[in-house]
Amino acid sequence: MPPKYDVSMPAAAELQPVGQATFIATRAKSDAALLEEWCDGYDGHTRRAYERVGARFLETLAMPLRQAAVGDYRQAVAALGIKPAGTEASRATRATYTAAVKSFLGFAHGVGYLAFNPGPFLKVEKQARDLAKRIIDDIDVRTLIRAAKEGRDRLLIEVAYYGGLRVSELVGLHWSDVIERDNGRLQITSLEGKGGKVREVLLPAGVSDRLRQYRRDKPDNDPIFRSARRDGPITERAAVDIVKAAARDAGIAKPISPHWLRHAHISHALDNGAPVSLVSQSVGHSDLKTTSIYAHARPGDSSGLYLKDL
């Protein structure tokens, strides 16, 4: 039977296993140190986002975590959703902030820094089911690719779409991440997404050929999508700008971003008969339910089609 821990003491930093030596769950002596400890469990884009949201939350709370009541936490989270200009952030952004704070507070309680977990008292706003509005059809994708500047920008859009990559994965690619496979295809290897889940992605032969031609004699440690302004890969912001510029030149009015291409990859693959399990594995979803949402967002069949047209 696992040991029981006494976490009833206020501001407990040490958990006391019954009948055993003291187990120290955290050495954090301040809220800032605790935040750093929590963020150490993540890396890349996720870590930067959590550091930013966590720091803003602690600043907005304006009192130590151990002195705050539920109402104080709620007010601080509500304040996070207000932009510097005084306007309200989008529902999706507010939901992301709340989810991050809930995770942080759950960690604080789990390691004994807080005597109780305020997280369950913070409600995440339900988001409207607008996924269908953010799925573009394959004609738009082809138009977008043709409108992009030849070379780096066009290849970035192609790899984003055919690989189903997150923008953080896209800009982090180096030539060493690409290996040869059968039938003229290239494989993007060792993609590490959310939760540290590693996967491999195969690219179609046509995209693979264009990548080979673009590479020429570039060394393995070179980023695939190099910045023209600095030494190193382009930023996530620059990748977004590339996609938006191509959409503007293509005359596509929708606010397309690299993540829209990921949505399109999933939806189009399912429409064309790819198994849900394969799509889920390819894009790095942790749960088949997440992938299945796309099938419901744009169903290829519906019971209404079986009714007699009056």
Catalytic hit among 48, 226, 259, 298: 259
Active-site choice (262, 263, 265, 268): 262
Q: How many CB atoms lie within 10 A of CB 243?
A: 24
239's CB contacts (< 8 A; 6+ apart) are: 156, 160, 167, 170, 171, 225, 258
Out of 56, 152, 194, 226, pick the active-site residue: 194
The yes-or-no answer on residue 166 being catalytic is yes
Catalytic residue among 94, 154, 166, 265: 166
Whether 268 is catalytic: no
In whole angstroms, what is the distance from residue 49 CA to residue 280 CA? 24
Please tell me which residue in 94, 154, 263, 285 is annotated as part of the active site: 285
Asked about 109 being catalytic, the answer comes back as: no
Number of continuous H segments (helices) and E segments (strands) in the chain: 12, 6
Q: Which helix (H) or strand (E) holds 39?
A: helix 31-39
Phi first, then psi: give them for residue 256, nearest 5 degrees.
Answer: -70, 140
Active site residue 294: yes
Look at the block and give the residue holding tokens 């309680």: 109
Q: Is 259 a catalytic residue?
A: yes
What 3-state class would DSSP assign to 249?
helix
* Residue 262: partners with Cβ closer than 8 Å, 6 or more residues away: 160, 164, 165, 166, 283
Q: Which of 73, 113, 162, 294 is catalytic?
A: 294
Measured between alpha carbons, how far is 291 from 276 in angstroms, rounded to an integer?
7
Catalytically annotated residues: 166, 194, 259, 262, 285, 294
